[in-house]
Chains A and B, each alone.
Chain A
Amino acid sequence: MTAALAFRDLTLGYDRHPAVHHLNGAVEEGALLAVVGPNGAGKTTLLKGIVGALRPLAGKIELGRVRVRDIGYLPQAAEIDRSFPISVYDLVAMGLWRSAGLTGGIGRADRVRLDQAISAVGLAGFESRAIGTLSVGQMQRALFARLLLQDAQVILLDEPFAALDAKTVSDLLDLVRRWHGERRTVLAVLHDIELVRARFPETLLLAREPVAWGQTLEVLTPENLLSARRMCEVFHDDAAVCEDAA
């Protein structure tokens, strides 16, 4: 199987302090990978690096057969300006970027897909609501609808289920399962260990440096989890320059 993503001695960070430190490995095509770890482990940073929002401090990210703009990325919802006056319909329609481009029209086929996506996430009837009026759960659903439309081969989800109720989580997980069935590559940053154990076959346990990567049951052992927690508590203001290379 070919790799959808590969990390070669990847170090990502802010202000020369590494948030992801010397990560090596590959994500196979069609994988359903959970990225877990304590707070500050570099999980969001990793996704930002993949999508090109952050340049590596060292090492590189290889994107296999896709380009950055073919990756579907769901950032943490806090980064969206909710006071901007657009409707749910228009927000979801952004997912048609690849086919409609800058000035292209949205044809009838696209409109059908739009409506289907909105129904698929349970937001039928919300089309003309301003995004500022949505609850957290409804906003997440809308963003998932947008992802659906993007029809991306690689999908990155950053804390997609944070602060959502069980029903919403379950509905959205069904979508994830659908994507996995369609042989898309899915990476999801998650906090809920139990959820990962139940639904995600593969896990990367990250604590700035990779602690373990592989089958979920083998990765999420108590020893691994403990050492992850320990590794993460270090952040020196005057750390020395890192001499290691992979």
Chain B
Amino acid sequence: MLYDALIAPFAEFEFMRRALVGVFALALGGAPVGVFLMLRRMSLTGDAMAHAILPGAALGFLVAGLDLFAMTLGGIVAGVTVAVGAGFIARATQLKEDASLAAFYLVSLALGVTIVSLKGSNVDLLHILFGTVLALDNATLYLLSGIATVTLLVLAVSWRPLVLECVDPLFLRSVSRAGAPVHFAFLTLMVINLVGGFHALGTLLAVGLMMLPAATARFWATDITRMIAIAIGAAILSGIVGLLVSYHAGVPAGPAIILTAGVVYAVSVVLGPVGGLRRRLVPGRHLEA
């Protein structure tokens, strides 16, 4: 019985196995990036990025027609330009990250709409660019795995300056010139995780699996390494359960996974030991020291 409910769907259907691998890869690459985004108060960047990539995708469309590879590549270029440009302005001027990014992505979106209208057709480019977790072909799986690998490698190498940049940027500046390059490398990681995620899985799933597990982990850990581990775990759990819900109950796959992640998040808000509602609702007795 339990086998039928939990294992059989994956055993019987290849698309289910592929979806699982895809979610795995996205969790490994996207969840750590999401934790950093959350800690840097950039949680809404994902949605901004979904709009910012339009001119890149549009240019890819102008050059190569409805070729997914060209459009995705264009999207990545546009995304990196917007993210790094916004980051640079935020560092070099008094404008903060959020305003800088807002300015960039709005201009980018308008540019994209203009480019699309030049070609005359009313094609909903972004709709075409966004995939679904149930349709992962080999190329897409390689893309997701590649992104996860690159992300983990870059994070491993730039761990210290990245953390320092978040906690005490002045100190970092005084001991090293790695601050700016590391920051831009992080922004690039964010863009490839997002755009790759859009291409493979659609916006909802890509952004959702980045940010919801990060928010969840906030309530279970006081240390960033553990936070990232919990975020990855939450993402994978949401993926598995969400796919099973979609399989048994007929809920669309992407939303099912995100709804599951949402439930995990809600449970964490209430029951999480760190900074959640639990201590408010049930204060418990205080310690000796």
Contact = CB atoms under 8 A, between A and B. Distances in A.
Q: Are A and B part of the same complex?
A: yes
Interface of A: 51-53, 68-69, 71, 73, 75, 79-81, 83-87, 90-91, 94, 97-98, 100, 102-103, 130-131, 146, 150
Given A53-B170, A85-B227, 10 more contacts: A69-B174, A73-B170, A75-B171, A81-B166, A85-B224, A86-B167, A87-B222, A91-B167, A102-B160, A130-B223
A73 B174 contact: yes
Contacts of B173: 51-53
A83 B39 CA distance: 8
A103 B182 CA distance: 13
A73 B170 CA distance: 9
B99 interface: no
A58 B184 CA distance: 30
Nearest to A93: B160
Contacts of B221: 85
B168 A102 contact: no
**In terms of DSSP, what is the predominant structure of the interface of chain B?**
helix
Contacts of A146: 171
A102 B158 contact: yes
B252 to A, nearest CB: 34
B157 interface: yes
29 contacts: A51-B170, A52-B173, A52-B174, A69-B177, A73-B174, A75-B170, A79-B169, A79-B170, A80-B167, A80-B168, A81-B167, A81-B168, A84-B39, A84-B163, A84-B166, A84-B167, A85-B223, A85-B224, A86-B223, A90-B163, A94-B164, A97-B176, A102-B157, A102-B158, A102-B160, A102-B178, A103-B156, A130-B223, A150-B175
Contacts, number: 72
A23 to B, nearest CB: 20
Interface string B43-82: 0000000000000000000000000000000000000000
Contacts of B177: 69
A69 B175 contact: yes
B157 A103 contact: yes
B112 interface: no
Interface of B: 39, 156-161, 163-164, 166-171, 173-178, 221-224, 227
Nearest to A15: B94
Given A85-B224, A87-B223, A69 B168 contact: no
Contact of B174 (A71, A84, A91): A71
Contacts of B170: 51, 53, 73, 75, 79
A150 B174 CA distance: 12
A90 B175 CA distance: 16
A68 B177 CA distance: 10
A51 B174 CA distance: 6
B160 A86 contact: no
A85 B166 CA distance: 10
A84, A98, A146: most-surrounded residue (chain B CB, <10 A): A84
A69 B171 contact: no
Given A81-B166, A84-B167, A85-B39, A130 B175 contact: no
Nearest to A130: B222
A73 B174 CA distance: 7
Contacts of B159: 103
B129 to A, nearest CB: 35
Contacts of B169: 79
